[in-house]
Structure 1
């Protein structure tokens, strides 16, 4: 196995284990066992657990962006693109292994003691808000709509993780529809 493959296996294992058990409950020995990469090689690829955590979060950011882009690209109208966010959340919440947002979980677990984790999480959330703002602008909505829609999505993630149901995605989507329909100019109001 070359270094690239080994690195991917470690990051896959880290994402699974960190998401399922929490970052502090997973050591390098656990990553070795889950990935099949020797401890010596693991430390050569990632000099510390902190570096694995950072890379796993950065990789998860890319995964989230791909999910979001696919959902948005499948929608036909500007309004539907805004609502696609909640449809994507509903699909994600229905996965058997759904445990909430890895970024929110990581921030809660390590944000106060690992500044780099807090920085990565803040950047991820800022990127999401910027994406929603872009969609709102494209729909002709006022700037104030985007943070409201982002908060609905964030709240839905936390609520779904705690409740263990997908209801939060549907409820957030319904609230988003009300906000969007109130904010968007009506085509017949000319």
Structure 2
């Protein structure tokens, strides 16, 4: 999924501790230029600090990228938590809420792209720490969605969760490349259809 609805760390007040300024600068630059396209010097300059200071907080640029993605992943975990808290006894509404959450984020995705999708394209090595963050995050999201589908009484919760995941991920890519119109509405309708196919 995407971070499009999160307020973002970039653009916050300038008087922050160095580590926070570095993360702000990294977020903005990684979003606009990609992880591979940004050097440590550029991040340090944007953060108003030095390379030496950056390396005091992060051993490598890869470690900085992994920490940035951990923050993005934590925001998504929080969004799942809020959806479950809003409809504590209604897993079907939770699944619908998840689809609405992504649908509402698609307009920003069309401009910035999903940080997970963008980063995966740059990180073919599965041992890269930032890629490991993404893979662990996506696996956890699928487990939580499968639990929702199980609680909703769907006949094949694993299959339903996989199909909904395909829809959520595909909607974000389609919004980013502009290939499909009314992506949000189509996404919500598709997720409803998946729940119907599986006997909700």
Which TM-score tier does this pair reach, normalised by the shorter chain?
0.7 to 0.9
Does structure 1 residue 146 correspond to structure 2 residue 161?
yes
The offset of 1:166, in angstroms, is 7.4
Q: Distance between the aligned counterparts of 2:107 and 2:72, measured in 1?
A: 18
The offset of 1:168, in angstroms, is 2.1
* Relative contact order higher in (CA < 8 Å, ≥ 6 apart): 2
Change (3 A) 1:32 1:97: farther
Q: Distance between the aligned counterparts of 2:108 and 2:87, measured in 1?
A: 22
The answer for the alignment partner of 1:171 in structure 2 is 186
The answer for the alignment partner of 2:67 in structure 1 is 55
The answer for the alignment partner of 2:138 in structure 1 is 125
List runs of 5+ in structure 2 lacking aligned partners.
1-15
Contact 2:92 2:152 in 1 (8 A): yes
Q: Distance between the aligned counterparts of 2:93 and 2:189, measured in 1?
A: 13
C-alpha RMSD of matched pairs (Å): 2.3
Which sits farther off after the overlay, 6-15 or 92-101?
92-101
Which sits farther off after the overlay, 92-101 or 166-175?
92-101
Does structure 1 residue 6 correspond to structure 2 residue 18?
yes
TM value normalised by structure 1: 0.84
Contact 1:87 1:173 in 2 (8 A): yes
Does structure 1 residue 40 correspond to structure 2 residue 52?
yes
Match runs of 1:31-110 below 5 Å: 31-75=43-87, 77-95=90-108, 98-110=111-123
The answer for the alignment partner of 2:41 in structure 1 is 29
TM value normalised by structure 2: 0.80
Change (3 A) 1:58 1:157: same
